[in-house]
Structure 1
Amino acid sequence: MIKAVIFDMYETLITLFQSPLYFGTQIAIDAGISEEEFQLLWKSTEYGRTIGKMNLEETLEFILKEKQCYSKELLSKIVDKRKMSKKECFKYLHPEILPMLKELKKKGICIGLISNCFSEEVEAIRNSELFPYFDATYLSFEQGLQKPEKEIFIRCMNKLSVSSDECIYVGDGGSFELETASEIGMKAIQAVWYFKEGTLQPAKRKKDFIQAETPFEILKYI
């Protein structure tokens, strides 16, 4: 009997690719740094930013000073634009996301969230209209570990007081999350409703997993 559905956030409940992008490419332009030079430093900090070792402000200050273009005004401008871009994503929800979450609640199903995310994404998630639906929220920046590590899944299950065979895990399939969920005994479903050709989305369809074309399809597996 399914008692909980645990979701990924990005490219599952929301997408980064329907609102204006503000990734490394755009930040480099604002900083006046070549993209190659910026990305070399930006990507080298990704793991630390994901597990809470560095926040956005610290990372950008480090890069701007390293490239000798730091000013408080420039740092503030880039931080504000980056944070705004993360908030903006929540305005482009698939129309079935909120109704699906409401229906899970009506059925008495617990809802969990496990997401790899940076400091600016934690802020956006916790201030979003989705956040009140979660009974357990496990964000890599706050937990000090990231998917696909099993421990972050186990922590979420323990918080929800459910066993793995009582859980559905729903994610786009990035970070080998579906493989880990399946390995520990969850029913793993790949969310493909945001998938679109020609984007920078990191995940592709995985034939070894059930694929849900719309959020409402999740309800039939309860």
Structure 2
Amino acid sequence: MIHAVIFDFDGTLLDRDSSVHSFINQQYERLKPHLSHILKETYVHRFIELDNHGYVWKDKVYQQLIEEFSIKLSSEEMLEDYLQEFKNHCVPFENLHSMLHNLKKQGLKLGMITNGYGQFQLDNIRALGIENNFDVILISEWEGIKKPNAEIFDRALSKLKVSANDSLYIGDHPFNFFQRVLTPAERS
């Protein structure tokens, strides 16, 4: 019987593609005095391409953009804009709040495991207004390990006080899901 559901965040609860698109379009407008020599569509497309679905940290993305487009801002300035503003563009997937509410109403424990930087990810979780739905939230930077390392999954299970056999993990990327092998005691 399932007693807990553990979620990934980006691409699972947060519609990351829509969030990034909203953010980068507004960043262009905020920084337009420094970016007007680049077509907006070109800037947006290249950022999204370099970002690689969030698998490239933004300091590298901005360094590359500065180099390619001769932007007269530092990567630190552009990164700071990202860190301060992204949370204002977080878009939940449709029916996120009602889904979490319904799972809690069924008596299920809820957990979240997300890779990323601690405060940045927590700000984005809070921007969606979902933090209080979760019994456990593990953010890789603060845990010192990240998916797909089995230890972060085991840590979540331990904090939720459930076995792997009694839980589900829901994420958007098969690489970041650890195919945990159940112990003989958990199989029975």
TM-score (norm 2): 0.65
Q: Offset at 1:85?
A: 2.7
Contact 2:87 2:127 in 1 (8 A): no
Q: Offset at 1:86?
A: 4.0
Secondary structure, counterpart of 1:12 in structure 2: coil
1:85/1:127 CA distance change after superposition, 3 Å:
closer
Q: % of aligned pairs identical?
A: 27
Hey, what does 1:184 align to over in structure 2? 181
Unaligned runs of 5+ in 1: 50-55, 186-222
Hey, what does 1:98 align to over in structure 2? 97
Deviating above 3 A after TM superposition, structure 1's stretches of 4 or more consecutive aligned residues are: 29-32, 69-72, 74-78
Contact 2:114 2:139 in 1 (8 A): yes
Matched, 1:11 2:8: no
2: CA distance, partners of 1:134 / 1:70: 42
Q: Offset at 1:80?
A: 2.3
1: CA distance, partners of 2:109 / 2:180: 21
1: CA distance, partners of 2:11 / 2:19: 12
Contact 2:90 2:127 in 1 (8 A): no
2: CA distance, partners of 1:163 / 1:82: 36
TM-score (norm 1): 0.56
Contact 2:90 2:124 in 1 (8 A): no
- Which protein has greater RCO, CA pairs closer than 8 Å, 6+ apart? 2
Hey, what does 1:116 align to over in structure 2? 115
Q: CA RMSD in A?
A: 3.7
Matched, 1:88 2:85: no
- Bigger-Rg structure (1/2): 2
Q: Offset at 1:19?
A: 3.4
2: CA distance, partners of 1:116 / 1:176: 9
Q: How many residues align?
A: 159
Q: Offset at 1:9?
A: 0.7
1:171/1:20 CA distance change after superposition, 3 Å:
closer
Unaligned runs of 5+ in 2: 38-42, 183-188
2: CA distance, partners of 1:156 / 1:87: 28
**Structure with higher helix content:** 2
Q: Offset at 1:113?
A: 0.1
Secondary structure, counterpart of 2:137 in structure 1: strand
What amino acid maps onto 2:180 in structure 1?
A: E
2: CA distance, partners of 1:176 / 1:124: 20
Hey, what does 1:169 align to over in structure 2? 169
What amino acid maps onto 2:103 in structure 1?
A: L
Secondary structure, counterpart of 2:18 in structure 1: coil
Hey, what does 2:141 align to over in structure 1? 141
What amino acid maps onto 2:85 in structure 1?
A: M
1:110/1:145 CA distance change after superposition, 3 Å:
same
Contact 2:12 2:172 in 1 (8 A): yes
Q: Offset at 1:99?
A: 0.9
